């Protein structure tokens, strides 16, 4: 797009044009979050080409993707256990939530932070039986001025119900990655998910039991497929990474 001809464009950022002050805030949030993404599959361009070639030669890291992210910010590098394009997708779905969000598996709280920056009004519940450091996460919430709608639960997500969790329209599963564990999470929270709500799973790819759990689940529950669970082990090469996205009918 020619900059000078684009009168509807509110501002230009590194990520491209934005069309309203509200979306500019979202783009800034997403850029901030991506600076804290998981980097194990990325070749960051701040490394000189020669260094990268030597690195590849020595460690055989052929499965990395060239990607540019901003400098690490107040959110530490690798805090969010997702690829940058997965962060973008989770942010978008969280932004559109109108009823409530539940995530199983918080670890550092990276995905919790993504949802809390994307949506400041609906209740966001996060369950983990062994979170890394909730005090640090709460410190980030106050620095970023978010998180007042977040309910951090320390406990099991598979077989336990919590009174504070009512209806949700986004269920994000990222806890136990075994077939049984993932299946239990989907089953445990299915009735809380409203019709039309999104079921999003991380690490749904060939070789990870999350895929086996999802393939079993869709045989028995009434769902529409938005992003297929059939992904190869090269999940990082898909536009939405290892996410599988289903809608409850």
Ligand X SMILES: C[S@@+](CC[C@H](N)C(=O)[O-])C[C@H]1O[C@@H](n2cnc3c(N)ncnc32)[C@H](O)[C@@H]1O
Residues in touch with ligand X (CB under 6 A): 80-82, 105-108, 110-111, 127-130, 156-158, 174-176
- SS3 state of residue 247: strand
- Considering the complex, what minimum distance in angstroms separates the CB of residue 223 from ligand X? 21
- Considering the complex, what minimum distance in angstroms separates the CB of residue 132 from ligand X? 7
Phi-psi domain of 220 (left: phi exceeds 0; alpha: psi -120 through 50; beta: other): alpha
What are the helix (H) ranges across the chain? 21-34, 49-59, 84-96, 110-118, 134-144, 179-189, 209-220
Phi-psi domain of 17 (left: phi exceeds 0; alpha: psi -120 through 50; beta: other): beta
- Considering the complex, what minimum distance in angstroms separates the CB of residue 186 from ligand X? 13
Nearer to ligand X, 21 or 155 (CB): 155
Other C-beta atoms lying within 10 Å of the C-beta of residue 212? 18
Nearer to ligand X, 18 or 127 (CB): 127
Nearer to ligand X, 156 or 216 (CB): 156
Cα-only R_g, the chain:
19
Nearer to ligand X, 81 or 235 (CB): 81
Nearer to ligand X, 100 or 105 (CB): 105
- Considering the complex, what minimum distance in angstroms separates the CB of residue 16 from ligand X? 25
Write the CB contacts of 208 (distance below 8 Å, at least 6 apart in sequence).
177, 242
- Considering the complex, what minimum distance in angstroms separates the CB of residue 80 from ligand X? 5
């Amino acid at each position: 797009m020619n900059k000078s001809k684009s009168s509807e464009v509110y501002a230009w950022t590194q990520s491209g044009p934005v069309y309203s002050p509200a979306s500019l805030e979202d783009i800034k949030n997403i850029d901030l979050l991506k600076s804290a993404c998981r980097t194990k599959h990325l070749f960051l361009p701040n490394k000189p080409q020669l260094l990268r070639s030597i690195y590849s030669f020595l460690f055989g890291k052929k499965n990395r993707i060239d990607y540019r992210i901003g400098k690490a910010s107040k959110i530490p590098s690798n805090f969010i256990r997702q690829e940058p394009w997965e962060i973008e997708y989770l942010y978008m779905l969280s932004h559109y939530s109108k009823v409530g969000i539940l995530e199983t598996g918080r670890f550092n709280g990276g995905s919790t932070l993504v949802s809390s920056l994307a949506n400041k009004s609906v209740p966001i519940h996060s369950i983990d039986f062994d979170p890394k450091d909730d005090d640090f996460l709460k410190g980030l919430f106050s620095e970023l001025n978010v998180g007042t709608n977040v309910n951090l639960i320390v406990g099991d997500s598979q077989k336990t119900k919590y009174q504070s969790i009512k209806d949700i329209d986004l269920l994000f599963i990222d806890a136990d990655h075994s077939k049984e564990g993932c299946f239990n999470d989907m089953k445990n929270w299915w009735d809380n998910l409203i019709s039309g709500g999104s079921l999003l799973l991380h690490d749904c790819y060939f070789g990870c039991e999350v895929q086996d759990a999802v393939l079993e689940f869709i045989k028995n529950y009434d769902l529409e497929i938005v992003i297929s669970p059939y992904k190869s082990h090269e999940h990082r090469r898909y536009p939405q990474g290892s996410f599988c996205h289903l809608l409850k009918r």
